[in-house]
Amino acid sequence: MALQKINQRIISSITFILGVIILPLFASGQKSDSVFAKDCPEAQIIRASGRQIFTTAPFGQGNLLEFSGNSANSLHYFQREKNTAWFKFKAVTSGDFIFTIQPQNLEADFDFLLFENTGLGFCEDLLNRKVKPIRTNISRNDTLENSRTGLSLSAKHNYVKSGVGSHVSKSVTVAKGDSFYLVIDNVKGIESTFFILFDYYTNTPISGQVHDEESHAPIKGATITWEEKSGEILAQTTTDDSGRYRMDVPIKKTKMAQEYILVANKTGHFFSEQNVKASATDSILPISVVLPSLKKGAKMVLQNINFYGNQSIVVPQAFPSMKRLQRLMRANKTLEITIAGHTNGCPSGKKFSKKLSEDRSETVKRYLVSQNIKADRISTIGLDCQQMIFPNPQSEEEGHINRRVEILVVAY
């Protein structure tokens, strides 16, 4: 019974963390009145750019049943329509095209089929099964992936059938003006605000070298990943014998530079995270990386695992770093750590800050345990405001960095 209660607390904690990450994503974007076209001929025309927010979910079927009587294992079609919405759009630029369909309610299960628009007669050809989609995803929703679905640069497959499977399908290379039909099925009929986020990418080369922090020796075989701030891996490579790397990385085609994370890791070392701002027209200078060795007494500051003021709730940007810490623990199975929580000053007194810093370290431990890292490999401590990175913070950013956790190697 005690174990069951602990597991329930862990699940509740992770679900809450995911919810905190999702909510801000609905704050901005073009809102729709959510009157959906339920049949192909009346497909709703939308602009395939930015975030399109819909205040309700598709509910009910149309007058035409475009999908019924199909195999439950079909890669190309829904077994039958449940609660569908049809959209029509054109690519606004050329490049690698992706989209994300994100429900606010993580219990919602959205599936989709994407078709190239073949012109007049498309909908009739669809009814007669003369056209097939170019991408599908009919997999079960995955709450640990925020129940999102869509197209991704890192996905391996064009089609994903019903049941447990990848929540995303492979991106599509498009030219400006290419036309598409998208049909979404709200499988469970759950009412939920949702959005569709459209993005386009182009590739830019990056390079650099990875060294050991102590010996300064180049590190061969280190894994280098180029990631969105959400943690999605966009490109990956490994270093050569001289510790060098080079790869083409996707850059979002937007007017403003976007921030990406260059991550380096190697078994026996801490991982490294570097924030890189880049636009589609930039050339990126070589990026050097230093990796500290894992050894007893070594310490790593996780400046991306931060918390809301006076709370032990992580900010949305912390979740990818928590995943990286989990992967570090999984890859180095003898590693034992202490997680130290910190606060931004002690304005409410030492007692309050001590408890808050302890709770912050426990939040990270609960996450790791929920990801099957053994609890006896992790101890926690709260250091209140004793070791602030910025003792007299002059900005919200400096205060944000103070609200962090650090990792101390106990055994390796």
Q: How high is the mean pLDDT of the chain?
A: 90
Confidence of residue 307 (pLDDT cuts 50, 70, 90): confident
Residue 127 backbone dihedrals phi, psi, to 5 degrees: -60, -30
At residue 21 the predicted structure's pLDDT band, cuts being 50, 70 and 90, is: low
Q: Which of 38-47, 305-314, 333-342 has the lowest mean pLDDT?
A: 305-314
CA-nearest of 46, 43, 45, 49 to 98 is 49
CATH 3.30.1330.60 at 295-412, yes or no: yes
Position 10 scores a pLDDT of 45
- Stretch 195-210: mean pLDDT: 97
Same fold, 202-293 and 295-412: no
Domain boundaries, the chain: 14-192, 202-293, 295-412
Q: Residue with structure tokens 């083409």?
A: 248
Q: pLDDT tens digits, residue range 272-300? A: 999 899 999 889 999 999 999 999 998 88
Residue 258 CB contacts under 8 Å (≥ 6 apart), including other chains: 251, 252, 277, 278, 279
3-state secondary structure at position 181: strand
Bridge partner residues of 212 (DSSP): 291
What does the alpha-carbon distance between residue 219 and residue 288 come to, in Å, rounded to a whole number? 12
Virtual CA dihedral for 169, 173, 177, 178, nearest 10 degrees?
A: -60
Supply the pLDDT for residue 3. 42
**Residue 288: both structure tokens together:** 């050097």
pLDDT (tens digit per residue) in 80-125: 999 999 999 999 999 999 999 999 999 999 999 999 999 999 999 9
The amino acid at 158: N
The pLDDT assigned to 23 comes to 57
pLDDT in tens, 395-405: 888 887 888 89
Q: How far apart are CA 409 and CA 412, in angstroms?
A: 7
| Mean pLDDT on 387-391 | 88
- Collapsing DSSP states into helix, strand and coil, what is residue 85? strand
The total number of residues shown for the chain amounts to 412
Among 187, 72, 225, 66, which Cα is nearest to 131's?
66
Report the DSSP pairing between strands 110-116 and 179-186: antiparallel
pLDDT of residue 344: 87
CB 404 within 8 A of CB 393: no
The pLDDT confidence band at residue 32, using thresholds 50, 70 and 90, is low
Question: How does DSSP classify residue 342?
Answer: -
Say what percent of the chain tops pLDDT 90: 72
Q: What is the C-alpha end-to-end distance of the chain, expressed in Å?
A: 33
150 vs 27, residue with greater confidence: 150
Of the pLDDT bands very low, low, confident and very high (cuts 50, 70, 90), residue 388 is confident
Rg (CA), the chain: 23
| Beta-ladder partners of 84 | 185
DSSP per residue, 239-252: --TTSEEEEEEEEE
- What does the block give as tokens for 339? 């997680």
Phi/psi class of residue 47: alpha, beta or left (left: φ > 0; alpha: ψ in -120 to 50)? beta
Average pLDDT for 213-222: 95
Q: Which residues of 338-377 are buried (b: 16+ CB within 10 A; e: fewer)?
A: bbbbbbbbbeeeeeebbbbbbbbbbbbbbbbbbbebeeeb
Query: Among 97-106, 297-306, 335-344, which stretch is predicted with the lowest mean pLDDT?
Result: 297-306
Q: Which pLDDT band, with edges at 50, 70 and 90, does 11 fall under?
A: very low
Task: Please give the residue that has the higher pLDDT: either 376 or 303.
Answer: 376
What is the DSSP code (8-state) at residue 41?
G
What integer pLDDT is reported at residue 30 of this predicted model?
72
User: Right CATH number for 202-293 from 3.30.1370.60, 2.60.40.10, 3.40.50.720, 1.10.579.10?
Assistant: 2.60.40.10
